[in-house]
Amino acid sequence: MTESSLTQLIERDGQAVARRMKTVRVTVLDGPDKGAVFEGAQEEIRVGGDDDNDLVIRDPSVSRKHVSLGLERGGIRVRDLGSTNGTFMGDLRVNDVVIRGTRELLLGTTLVRVEPTENAVEKDLSMGIRFGRLVGTSTAMREVFAVLERIAPSDLPVLIEGEAGTGKELVADAIHRRSPRSGGPFVVVDCGVVPRDRIEGELFGHAKTATLPESQGAIRAAEGGMLVLDEVGDLSVEAQAKLLRVLESREVRSLGASSPVAVDLRVVATTSRNLQREIKDGRFRQDLYYRLSSVVVKLPPLRSRLQDVPLLVETVLEDLSRRRAAQGLTGYSPLDPRAMELLQHYDFPGNVRELRNLVERFAVLGPDASVLAPTNGVPKVGGHEIRTDLPFHDAKEIWTEIFEKTYLTDLLKVHHGNVSAAARTSGIDRRHLQRLMVKHDLRERDRADEG
């Protein structure tokens, strides 16, 4: 591979069977985190103050989600993520640019160096475009499918990493259906929803008491099948220690019980957190991480595989139409071309879950409801003019701002300002939704509505 060719497809008999990617190294040259380094070969490297970034920078002048570095064939795509203090290359403030070779970027007051290395990683590609209910023609998803095809028939523990809405539970379900345990139970525990004072009883069960009947717990309920620990990073350190003992001994002792019970099950965990950062900060046990991560599957965000949008839209419409047919109703028609164009140029902070919600909205309301309507020959979306007199990226940035604010305003209105309900409906992570509200000056209104 040449320096400009950071990714290379490897073909056999005219078919792409693998992808070779150079790693990209990001080094903090100046600032509070001077000396910090991240190196990886992945679709996107995120840098910012939040713990779920690949490179976490504690400088207060760096935004929580500051900049994205996307690995492309022609170079590294640098995208500012709406940061407060901007991303600069020299004196030039950049929003979306492809760089080649080594460059220095100023993020707030922190200086970082971005450089491709000579280290390369080769990843196999699946020949299929579906795995269970997951679909995708992109190289990123074909890499995921290739891993899933190999590990599903095994009994290895799997850790599925990805942002909210990327389909982590769908991956777990697909693994289960392809495994020798498919005839057994599929038990999901959402560690982020169950209150901390109840999670141990939920997992391990409890013996019968004077006021409570016996509960076997999720671990025993998954006997012979699969236990999915959704958002495992939300477990308390105390619960992590007890879970580790279960995984090591293959026995579980219910709360209040005098003796343990042997268990036989496969464990799959999911997380939207950066568990390596959680380990470093003392919030997650390293030994438990090793037990859970025999195989790590990283799901790419939808914004890094927008070429999959048409197939995803088609799949969602087919699913929605089947549900309508079961009710004796007519199925949905294909989306208006302009609706599809909008979806193919949107960043999807809520990922595939958000896409599904938007597709249903467009399918139900359609152009007749002025969701997408041309006015006086000027393309408009929801009543807002699309600036065809501007360069593509500038016009897209303006429209994205309008779309986000309009969508969030309507969403919060429907849910009477309830942020949690709005996050669930939209498929947007609650913390990201709150940041978008601040960005679009919706924060005070939301607080008033909630209080």
Q: How far apart are the first and last CA of the chain?
A: 58
> Does 211 share its domain with 270?
yes
> Does 138 share its domain with 279?
yes
Within-domain flag for 282: yes
> Does 92 share its domain with 22?
yes
**What predicted TM-score, i.e. pTM, was given to this entire model?**
0.76
Within-domain flag for 180: yes
Of 68, 247, 228, nearest in space to 159 by CA: 228
> Does 286 share its domain with 270?
yes
pLDDT of residue 57: 96
Contacts of 111 (CB under 8 A, 6+ apart): 28, 29, 30, 31, 104, 105
167: domain range? Answer: 125-298
Task: List the CATH number of the domain containing 24.
Answer: 2.60.200.20
**End of a domain among 271, 298, 325?**
298
Mean pLDDT, residues 358-383:
54
pLDDT tier at 2 (50, 70, 90 boundaries)? Answer: very low
Task: Specify whether the CB–CB gap between 63 and 83 falls below 8 A.
Answer: yes
> Does 137 share its domain with 197?
yes
Mean pLDDT, residues 415-432:
82
> Does 48 share its domain with 89?
yes
Within-domain flag for 2: no
Say how far apart CA 276 and CA 54 lie, in whole Å: 10
Mean pLDDT, residues 411-420:
83
pLDDT of residue 392: 60
Say how far apart CA 222 and CA 208 lie, in whole Å: 20
pLDDT exceeding 90 applies to what percent of the chain? 57
Mean pLDDT, residues 63-90:
91
pLDDT of residue 383: 46
pLDDT(417) > 90 = no
Q: Which of the listed ranges 40-44, 262-266, 351-355 does the model predict with the highest average pLDDT?
A: 262-266
Task: List the CATH number of the domain containing 176.
Answer: 3.40.50.300
> Does 263 share its domain with 131?
yes
Say how far apart CA 189 and CA 183 lie, in whole Å: 19
> Does 156 share its domain with 257?
yes
pLDDT tier at 373 (50, 70, 90 boundaries)? Answer: very low
> Does 118 share its domain with 130?
no
Within-domain flag for 1: no
Say how far apart CA 13 and CA 357 lie, in whole Å: 40
pLDDT(122) > 80 = yes
Lowest mean pLDDT among 11-25, 80-94, 319-333: 319-333
Task: List the CATH number of the domain containing 416.
Answer: 1.10.10
pLDDT of residue 3: 41
Say how far apart CA 97 and CA 76 lie, in whole Å: 8
Count: domains in the chain: 4
Say how far apart CA 135 and CA 239 lie, in whole Å: 35
> Does 242 share its domain with 152?
yes
pLDDT tier at 395 (50, 70, 90 boundaries)? Answer: low
Mean pLDDT, residues 205-232:
89
> Does 243 share its domain with 178?
yes
Within-domain flag for 88: yes
**End of a domain among 371, 393, 413?**
371
pLDDT in tens, 141-157: 999 999 999 999 999 99
Task: List the CATH number of the domain containing 317.
Answer: 1.10.8.60
> Does 247 share its domain with 312?
no
pLDDT in tens, 401-412: 777 777 888 888
pLDDT tier at 451 (50, 70, 90 boundaries)? Answer: very low
**End of a domain among 90, 123, 156?**
123
pLDDT of residue 380: 42
Within-domain flag for 32: yes
